[in-house]
Each structure stands twice: as C-alpha cells, then as structure tokens.
Chain A
Amino acid sequence: MSEGAFISTANDYIGTSSRGSLEMFEAGLNVSSEITDRLRAGVQLFARDVGAFHDLPRIDWAFLQYQHRRWLGFRAGVVKMPFGLYNEYADIDAARVPILMPQGVYSVRNREALLAHRGFALYGTVPIARAGELDYQVWLGTLIIPDNAISISSNARLDGIDTRYVTGGQVFWHPPVDGLRLGGSYVRTSIDFRVTVDAATTAALLAAGIVPPSFDGSLVISQRPATLAIASAEYQHGRWMFAGEYARVYKRERSTIPVALPTRDSDGELFYGMATYQLTRCHALGAYYSVQHPDVDDRGGRDRTKFPERHFAFQRDLAATLRFDVNEHWLWKAEAHFIDGVADLTLDPLSDAKPARRWGLFLVRTTVTF
C-alpha cells in the first residue's frame, strides 16, 4: 500500500501536479499458493487513485503457473506481460529505487493497459554451456484496457476498445559475468478504438464533404499494428546497479474516415540510463536520465505540421531519488525530476494552453508491504 504527493513547477503531469496533489494512492492485495512443488496459482486485486487515474479494485493479474522443467514452464490467465527489464514489476514500489520509473518505457499512464494480458505464456531457463544461460518468455493473448486508460480529445467520446491480440517474446542472456544480463523484448498488438465525435464536429465533417452523408459521428481508429521493441542491459556489482534500455515504438494508425483521418505511421524512440547505489542497509540513491522522441525523423521538432513548438518533439528527464527503508516492510522515497520538453504530457489538441518547456516535478511516497 502506498501514499504519496507530487507537485510540479509548471505543466500538469499525471494529474493536477502544478497545484500540488496528494492523489498518489495505490493498494494491492495478492494471494498466491504453491499447490504442488511445480504448480502455483495467484491473484492480485489492485486499486489506485494516482492523479488523473482512478481505478476501483480490479483483478490486476490472476494466473496459474506450472514449471515442468527448468527450461519449460507454462502460465495461463491474466498474466503479467514481460517487456524490458522491469515491466513485470512496474506495480511493485518496494522492488525498485525510483518512484517513477523512466516514463518513456514504463509509463504510469499505460500501466493498466500494459501490465498484464489475458492469455498464455511459456517461459524457462536454458543453459548454454560456458556462455551462461538464457531466460526466455513468449506469450499470446489479448489486452485488457480500461476505458479510463485512454485520453481522448474533448470533442469525442470513447465507446469501447477491442484488442484483437497481443503477442511477444523476451530473451535475457546471463553471461558468466556476475550480475550482468543483456536482452531484448518485442511486443506486437492490434487495437481498435470505437469513438463518437460530438454533434458539432459531425456537422462540420458533413459540411466539408469529407465523410459520407450517412456519417453519424461513429468511427473506428485502429492501431494495426502497434509494436514495441526494447534492447536492455543491467549490471549489478556490489552496491551498484546500472541499467540502460533503448526502445522503439512503431504504430500504423488508420480510421474508418480516411479522408478526415488518413492512415499515418509513427516511429518513436525512448531510452534511458539509470544507476542506483545502496549507501547503507537503509538508504539507497538512484538517478536516471531518460529521453523520449515521439518521431525519430524529427527529434528536434522542426516540422510545424507535426509539432506546434520544438519542445513538443522531445522530453528529457533527469531524475534523482533517495530511498529510506525504515524496516523490511516500510519505506519512504523522495524524488526530483528536472524535465526539458513536453512530449509525454497529455495535451488536448483543442486546448490553447501553452505548456512550459523546462519544468520540475517533485514527489514523495511511502509504501508498506506485508
């Protein structure tokens, strides 16, 4: 269970951060059981009230796990989706130093959609002689995306989300170097968003003649496909831990009104480097620098048809965290972010608000696990 607070010097991030917010509450209750030596089952209920995200208790994950051999195991149910170094653990504050993981890869906004999938997974560890061993996971299922996980323009209403499939794989190589792991992850999905635009927009589209006369405001916007590929590296040495990841996000978006909303491709990149140091048994320091570019072909935001100002084309985040473990069950964290750019802000395209280019975000959080 966690409670926290955050405030930003400008811009609203996560929620109304510019005025300060205490909306940083999360509670999870999980039960798991080792039914036999090889068979486990577990379920987690999770609720949160974090800024703009208000989730009533829902099943976060619930799966059975059968480990046939070390090299082959099987999971079925609502299964956590492994991508990158940390997505499976993105909901476990006690398992990391930062409060906010690098948002390009582990976005709070996408948590509900990308934490788990409903389907099947195979996993295992394969020794490769003197070269160490490989951990692998592959999966197939559908995404469970709550409506409130999506932000949408103020002139439209989201009617529903259909994911046709999500599939992916992850491999981590553990070479014979203590504490080092190198790997890659790939996720591919296809999602339809059913949307209704308001009457004024419908009338404007009809008047412009770019939709058929039968257009009633309903349309489908599809991401077919949306893919995420991540290269990851982590090295633990003594009290130090270093991690770095580079990710590419590719989407092909199309709609049922192609004249008004033509098919478009987007290719974004995200990367970060992070270091943590265990100062004492109770204290740890962490820092990372993360960068997001929604368009790799225009990292500087020169194209005014895509970005109203240059700083809409990137977000560079320098973050520092202090973690203090009061005991094995209770911890505190304080974190500061110095941010350049607004690429990760949720901005209503119809709003005239001009976000500040350089801004700070400060958070504190306490977590109890039991």
Chain B
Amino acid sequence: MRALVLAILAALAVTGHSATVKAVHAEEREGFKVIVHPDNPARELERGFLRSAFLKKSTEWHGETVRPIDLATRFTVRDRFTTDVIGKTRAQLRSYWNQQIFSGKGVPPPEGESAAAVIAYVLAHRGAVGYLPASVDPGKARVVPVR
C-alpha cells in the first residue's frame, strides 16, 4: 500500500499538479454563448435539451435533425461548456464517447477548428447548434439564451 501511495505522489510530481489546477481555474472564468441557425424558431434553449443534443441523445427539433458542433479541445471555453451544460468533466465526457465509439453506438459531434468554422457550420445547417466564447461576434448566427 505504501508503494502505491509513493507511486501516486511520484506521478503527480512529474506532471505538475498545481499548474493543471491553475489552468482549470483560468478556463472556468471564460463564458460562452450558444448559437443556432437564424431560421431556427427556438427563442431559448433548456440546458437539458442542450445536454441531450451534445450527447447525441436527441435526434430532431423543429422538424430538423439536431446537429451539434463542438469547439476543438484547445479552446478553453469548451471545458466550461462541458461542465456547465453537459455536466461532466473533460475526462468523464471522453469516457462517455469512448463507450459510444467502441460499442458502435455513435460518434461525438464534429469539432470546429475555429469560432468561424463553428459559425459557418451553424449557418449551413438549419438544425445545427453550437457555442462560442462569449467575446466572439456570432455574425449571422443567432444567439439563444440557455435556461
């Protein structure tokens, strides 16, 4: 047991626990806004629906296939969205998608490599829903509040 504790402490020392904690805190300060296609009639979105959409449990809304799009993992706001809306940590979400992928049930939403790519995807699909850092101009995409 003592050997196991020492191994844990050694592993933590190698990777720098405190630096990781600071990074996580920095991410938590960044807000996000949710965007949909301008023709989408939704005036607000429930957090439960967004969660279901990004876990690909919801299949359609307003007669359209739900098409969620994530930001690439390098965007710190993605962690905020994952925690606040999906209710999982990054590791828990990765575990969820590993389960879905390797059991053949589904694949995660596509990832936008930039905010512009997310906006372009949302404008190209009437059933799309995405999110952006709060400071980014959504262009012609429509921002909807989340309750």
Are A and B subunits of one complex? yes
Residues on A with C-beta less than 8 A from B63 are none
Beta-carbon nearest neighbor of A37 in chain B: B65
With an 8 A cutoff between CB atoms, is A91 at the interface?
yes
Interface size on A, residues (CB 8 A): 47
How many whole Å from B52's CB to the nearest CB in chain A?
8
Verify B102–A95 contact, CB threshold 8 A: yes
Interface size on B, residues (CB 8 A): 36
Verify B91–A325 contact, CB threshold 8 A: yes
With an 8 A cutoff between CB atoms, is A107 at the interface?
no
With an 8 A cutoff between CB atoms, is B114 at the interface?
no
With an 8 A cutoff between CB atoms, is A369 at the interface?
yes
The A280-312 residues at the B interface (CB cut-off 8 A) are 280-285
How many whole Å from B116's CB to the nearest CB in chain A?
24
Verify B102–A334 contact, CB threshold 8 A: no
Known A-B contacts A179-B87, A328-B94; the reply to A322 vs B102 at CB < 8 A is no
Residues on A with C-beta less than 8 A from B105 are 40, 65
Verify B99–A88 contact, CB threshold 8 A: yes
With an 8 A cutoff between CB atoms, is B15 at the interface?
yes
Verify B92–A241 contact, CB threshold 8 A: yes
With an 8 A cutoff between CB atoms, is A96 at the interface?
yes
How many whole Å from A239's CB to the nearest CB in chain B?
6
The interface stretch among B5-13, B31-39, B136-144 is B5-13
Instruction: Provide the bound-state CA to CA distance between A202 and B19, in Å.
Output: 71
With an 8 A cutoff between CB atoms, is A20 at the interface?
no
Verify B15–A283 contact, CB threshold 8 A: yes
Verify A34–B91 contact, CB threshold 8 A: no
From B60, B73, B103, contact of A80 by CB (8 A): B103
Known A-B contacts A34-B107, A281-B90; the reply to A92 vs B102 at CB < 8 A is yes
Q: List 9 A-B contacts (CB under 8 A).
A: A32-B107, A43-B104, A88-B99, A91-B102, A179-B87, A236-B87, A282-B20, A322-B4, A328-B73
List residues of chain B with CB under 8 Å of any chain A CB.
1, 4, 7-8, 11-12, 15, 17, 20-21, 24, 52, 57-60, 65, 73, 87-92, 94-96, 98-99, 101-107
